[in-house]
Amino acid sequence: MNLITDLITYLVNEKIISSSEVDEVSVSLVVGDAPKRPETVSRGFIVSRNHKPYLSVKFIPISWCFLVEDILKTRSLYAGFKYFKVPDMLGHFSTTEGHFFIEEYIQSTATLSELIENGDLKDQQVIEIFRNILSEIWTASEPPQKEFVRQEVSNYRNYMQGLIDESLLNTIFPEYIEKTIYDNVDSLRQCWSSGDIMEGNILLAGQHWYLVDYEYCHQTLFLFKEAYRYILHRKWAKNSSLRDFCPWLGHFPEEVAILLSLAWEKKICSDVLDIQANRIHQIRLRELSRNILYPNANSKLTQRQIQKSTIEQLQQNIKTQLKKMQTYIKRPK
């Protein structure tokens, strides 16, 4: 595998650089810190000319679990947005090893992550930035097609396996989660998500925000899952609700939105992370799921103890959750 040779050859053939400039060009590797399995490791490259960066390149392996056409579709859609910009794409190509995406290098003042760490922004300002980004994506999306809703319901039923005890999942999913989705489908849209809308991927360049890194692009019915990642992983968001980021949620019950978000997080961890990192994340995700389903239970309750619950107790828990949902829906605005 000689990725740099493949890249330089493409740049010359497509006249992005001239053959006479090759000796002036250098390529440096940008290494991510996520503990991924070897076959899921993507690579970033910065192409410089006379030591000045001018191209940014992302390489994703051939076995990557997201589609090239989805990446191109999402980038194309986002390119028309106003609140944030997308780096211009100069080309893309595939080899037997994987796929290359070549875009302009953004000379940024700082990442949003750096601004947060330096105390340049208050928590509420950070929340507003993410709310504006997600709201623009949601506004540009369309009401979901029936078949897409059906497919998403089926997918998330599968994602929840191992996250929730099987006996409970077989009861609570059709009677509560699936019902909630269909009853509140007007609060949902068929969205294109870049899949990694985190502060490290948001750059400030001059007066403009740029969103970068599109390797996780996909269509989703549940855009709010992107917002839950902030609440799950970031101190500045720990006291926030999903509606702070997603005001369009309407009467969609937050506990169901959280369970769906946890299911997606479980899928991504399983697909991408190495064995040890995935094991640690799965334990935490199962614990968080139990806290939603058993809000009054001891947080140290083990999976074996939960499995001993009688079906009557499980059904009563479902009834309680349904009552909470109905009370919320009837609550006056």
Q: Which comes out higher in pLDDT, residue 301 or 42?
A: 42
- Domain residue ranges of the chain, discontinuous segments joined by +: 3-104, 110-330
In whole numbers, what is the pLDDT of the chain averaged over residues? 89
Which fold is adopted by the domain 110-330? Answer: Aminoglycoside 3'-phosphotransferase; Chain: A, domain 2 (3.90.1200)
> Region 101-117: what's the mean pLDDT?
95
Q: What percent of the chain has pLDDT over 70?
A: 89
Write down the pLDDT at residue 31: 79
> Region 8-28: what's the mean pLDDT?
95
Write down the pLDDT at residue 1: 57
Dist. CA 17–CA 20, nearest whole Å: 8
pLDDT 10s digits, 25-35: 999 998 777 88
Q: Which comes out higher in pLDDT, residue 268 or 168?
A: 268
Say if residue 302's pLDDT is above 60. no
Q: What percent of the chain has pLDDT over 90?
A: 78
Dist. CA 150–CA 171, nearest whole Å: 18
- HSE-CB at 26 with a 13 A cutoff on CA atoms is 7
Correct CATH for 3-104 of 3.40.1620, 1.10.3470, 1.25.40, 3.30.200: 3.30.200
Residue type, 28: S
- From residue 289, give the alpha-carbon distance in Å to each of 183, 197, 256, 294, 295: 22, 23, 10, 8, 10
Write down the pLDDT at residue 167: 87
Say if residue 305's pLDDT is above 60. no
Write down the pLDDT at residue 116: 97
Q: Taking each helix axis from N to C terminus, what angle separates 123-139 and 224-233, rounded to the nearest 10 degrees? A: 160
Write down the pLDDT at residue 168: 87
pTM for this model (two decimals)? 0.86
pLDDT 10s digits, 219-229: 999 999 999 99
Write down the pLDDT at residue 320: 58
The pair of three-digit structure tokens given for residue 156, joined into one six-digit string: 């998330």
Query: For the ranges 79-93, 221-235, 295-309, which has the lowest average pLDDT?
Result: 295-309
Q: Which comes out higher in pLDDT, residue 324 or 149?
A: 149
Write down the pLDDT at residue 264: 97
Confidence of residue 297 (pLDDT cuts 50, 70, 90): low
Write down the pLDDT at residue 108: 84
Confidence of residue 311 (pLDDT cuts 50, 70, 90): very low
Say if residue 321's pLDDT is above 70. no
Say if residue 327's pLDDT is above 90. no
pLDDT 10s digits, 171-198: 899 989 999 999 999 999 999 999 999 9
- From residue 152, give the alpha-carbon distance in Å to each of 126, 148, 178, 186, 222: 30, 6, 10, 15, 9
pLDDT 10s digits, 43-69: 999 999 999 999 999 999 999 999 999
Q: Which comes out higher in pLDDT, residue 98 or 302?
A: 98
